Amino acid sequence: MCGIVGYIGTKKACPILLAGLTRLEYRGYDSAGISTIEKDCIKIVKDKGRVKELENKKEIKDLQGTVGIAHTRWATHGKPSKENAHPHKDNSNTFSVVHNGIIENYYDLRNLLEENGYKFYSETDTEVIPNLIHYYYKKELAINNEHTVQTFLRVVRNACLDIKGSYALEIISKDFPEYMIVVRKDSPLVIGTCKDEKYISSDIPAILSYTRDFYFLNDLEFAVLKNDDIKFYDTNLNQIDKKISNIEWDAMSSEKNGYEDFMLKEIYEQPTAIRETIGSRISVDNKCEFEELPLTKKELENIDKIYIIACGTAMHAGLAGKNVIEKLCRIPTEVDIASEFRYRDPIINNRTLSIFISQSGETADTIAALKLAKKSGSKTIAISNVIGSSITREADYSIYTHAGPEIAVASTKAYTSQVILVNMLAIYFAEILEKSNKEEIRNLKKEILELPKKIGETFNCAERIKQFAKKIYQEKDVFFLGRGIDETVAKEGSLKLKEISYIHSESYPAGELKHGPIALIESGITVIGILTDKLLVDKTVNNIQEVITRGARTLIITNQNVNYSMFDEVIIIPKVNTFLSPILSIIPLQLLAYYISKEKGLDVDKPRNLAKSVTVE
């Protein structure tokens, strides 16, 4: 995926754009570029490589303009190269564009433009955009040689109407040097505003140090920006009003604050993230509150099926939450991978409730699945960490995790916040439905409130995990085993390890081991077992015994009484209600992935080939 930043104001744009790009590098980091307006001409400096390399280029010092756009790329169309890096300009050097998303019909558009004499210098889909804008601009000028910003807006709008696909665009023009136009469709873009300055970005944290006041665009809404003015337009170019949203996140939370990496910082932020996400929603003696979710008993009684739909780590949070919903609400709950759900003709009707979990709120597959569910009559709830994100604008209801900005590609605090939120949602529904045992709910609430402290205690394992990482960092394969809710944590632990240490790992329900994977177990292989469910612990121990017999090295994460001497390493975590155990048992596994990655000298926060927010299919 890509990240875009823009600035229009009274200061030199380049340093602001570079700082923004550095913060957005998690979204893509194979090339970077900046374009500014310089004395009525457009300048572009770009190349493959990271933002740091762009910053060190000689030409970057020539960029003095106060209007600029910038981009960090994660290649989709065309390899990482200077030619393919953004910004892209049209043949006449009139328009410069950065783009996050994918133009699906770029081939047709490119043919049309080539037939009209345009030449292309890159392999990207994006290069059609400035040329298409110019194509309409030329037509306009042929009819009417008027140079108002309305002309600029009209030609950008005309181009957008031709484009199929997803895009967040920033466009500047040498003919309109005081303006910038931005528009989005199915790709993220936020606008930060101050008196004489406007900041544009793919996400809030990248520009949070400048302003807390943000505007959010809906699909195909256009913003015409000047340093001291913003006007918004719908697709028909009627002017529309937009409300400013005040974002409460602390700017410091987007910095490393003395930690070596964002991931480590975010792991240690989990007690706060959980405390903030619980907020005032839970107290032992009162009913759980979700003001933003005004569902009645009648509406909930009408629901006969719940889907939880998400991707990656967010999907694992859904798996960890499925059981608590079924147990407390007695409504069958299915967890689906968004990219599968959207193409498998799922059974949805007006008795279905679909819950979509997404840290960023911008994951393309999750948004598409949401649109499908909504179209088929389902009620939809978005769970996101980002206020105003696309998913929250599409869903009937939105509830937020308050984990604060998560910068590292590998998700940690967002996962545990999602798990706690789904637990609270289950309690909220159960209390409205008056279905479950009051004492059971009361106990669960008590345990939820104790969680931040227990997470703090779990961090005591860090040093031992670090030492264990030193022993296994050169391994080629690692297995994660668990049963029930522990298996969902095995999945997430295995994903963390793959993502940032590049070690091949598999997660299995412990009982499935004997149906094939045990053939892979040989002397010295590492097997990690998660044992927190009292009812299943003996069964899992038996399965782990089988791998010990075959020479495996074992690490156990547990809060149960088991014969510790059987295993090579045992990490004891605090006792906790089984529904909440993923929030504690994942912590040693997050730390393990982190320390292995460090031991291997890898870039923990920006693992190869991955992007934090996957805004294309």
| Phi/psi of residue 163, nearest 5 degrees | -85, 130
Can you spell out the DSSP letters for 347-401? Answer: ---TTEEEEEEESSS--HHHHHHHHHHHHTT-EEEEEESSTT-HHHHHSSEEEE-
| Phi/psi of residue 190, nearest 5 degrees | -125, 155
Considering beta carbons, is residue 97 or 386 the nearer one to ligand G6P?
386
CB of 579 to ligand G6P, least distance (A): 21
Considering beta carbons, is residue 387 or 521 the nearer one to ligand G6P?
387
Q: Are 318 and 422 in contact (CB under 8 A)?
A: yes
Which strand ranges, in their side-by-side order, compose the sheet holding 245-246?
41-48, 31-38, 67-73, 3-8, 198-201, 190-193, 213-216, 245-246
CB of 414 to ligand G6P, least distance (A): 6
Residues constituting the chain: 617
List, in order, residues 6 or more apart from 589 with CB less than 8 Å away: 480, 489, 492, 493, 496, 497, 528, 530, 557
Question: Cα separation of 417 and 276, whole Å?
Answer: 9
Question: Cα separation of 481 and 527, whole Å?
Answer: 7
Considering beta carbons, is residue 100 or 411 the nearer one to ligand G6P?
411
Q: What is the SS3 assignment for 145?
A: coil
Structure letter (DSSP) for residue 432: H
Considering beta carbons, is residue 361 or 588 the nearer one to ligand G6P?
361
Active-site residue (options: 265, 322, 496, 612) = 612
Tell me the β-bridge partners of 225: 180, 230
Active-site residue (options: 2, 160, 311, 329) = 2
CB of 90 to ligand G6P, least distance (A): 33
Question: Cα separation of 346 and 306, whole Å?
Answer: 12
CB of 356 to ligand G6P, least distance (A): 9
Please identify the residue of the shown chain whose CB is closest to the bound ligand G6P: 312
Structure tokens at 546: 């089988």
Considering beta carbons, is residue 426 or 611 the nearer one to ligand G6P?
611
Q: Where are the alpha helices (DSSP H) in 235-311?
A: 262-268, 270-278, 297-301
Burial zone of 327 (CB within 10 Å; 0-12 exposed, 13-18 middle, 19+ buried): middle
Considering beta carbons, is residue 60 or 75 the nearer one to ligand G6P?
75
Question: Cα separation of 205 and 24, whole Å?
Answer: 9
CB of 543 to ligand G6P, least distance (A): 28
Q: Are 352 and 324 in contact (CB under 8 A)?
A: no
Burial zone of 480 (CB within 10 Å; 0-12 exposed, 13-18 middle, 19+ buried): buried
Question: Cα separation of 412 and 594, whole Å?
Answer: 11
Considering beta carbons, is residue 271 or 361 the nearer one to ligand G6P?
361
Considering beta carbons, is residue 323 or 411 the nearer one to ligand G6P?
411
Q: Are 93 and 131 in contact (CB under 8 A)?
A: no
Residue ranges in contact with ligand G6P by CB under 6 A: 311-314, 358-360, 363, 366, 409-411, 610, 612-614
Structure letter (DSSP) for residue 62: G
Q: Is the peptide bond before 80 cis (omega within 30 degrees of 0)?
A: no
Question: Cα separation of 331 and 227, whole Å?
Answer: 53
- Catalytic residue check, 2: yes
CB of 615 to ligand G6P, least distance (A): 9
Considering beta carbons, is residue 339 or 554 the nearer one to ligand G6P?
339
Which residue numbers are catalytic?
Answer: 2, 612
